[in-house]
Amino acid sequence: MTTKRFIAGAVCPRCGAMDRLVSYDNEEGRFKECVACDFLEKQVAAVQVDELDTRVNQYEDDQAETEVTLVKIIEPPKP
């Protein structure tokens, strides 16, 4: 038996009904289907989304070679 899962927030392209699309896999491939009308669509290609590059997930290879500079804080002269 094929397990069908609802796609939250999805709108049917044929009838415009919201939250009526289900997704399921079978021996012929992956499909999405509207339970409110007779819309049926086979997904042709699976798209893999890579993580976006951000400063948090980027690593420098030469972190060990970072130059350290000392800063001396001085008091301003008193008037």
Q: Is 10 part of any domain?
A: yes
Strand positions, DSSP E, the chain? 5-6, 21-26, 29-34, 40-42
* Average pLDDT of the segment spanning 65-70: 78
Q: Is 31 part of any domain?
A: yes
Q: Is 27 part of any domain?
A: yes
Select the highest-mean-pLDDT range: 13-17, 57-61, 73-77: 13-17
pTM, two decimals, is 0.54
The closest of 36, 42, 8 to 24, measured between CA atoms, is 42
- Domain tally, the chain: 1
Residue 45: pLDDT band with limits 50, 70, 90: confident
Q: Is 51 part of any domain?
A: no
Q: Which domain holds residue 16?
A: 1-45
Q: Is 3 part of any domain?
A: yes
Is the pLDDT confidence value at 38 over 60?
Answer: yes
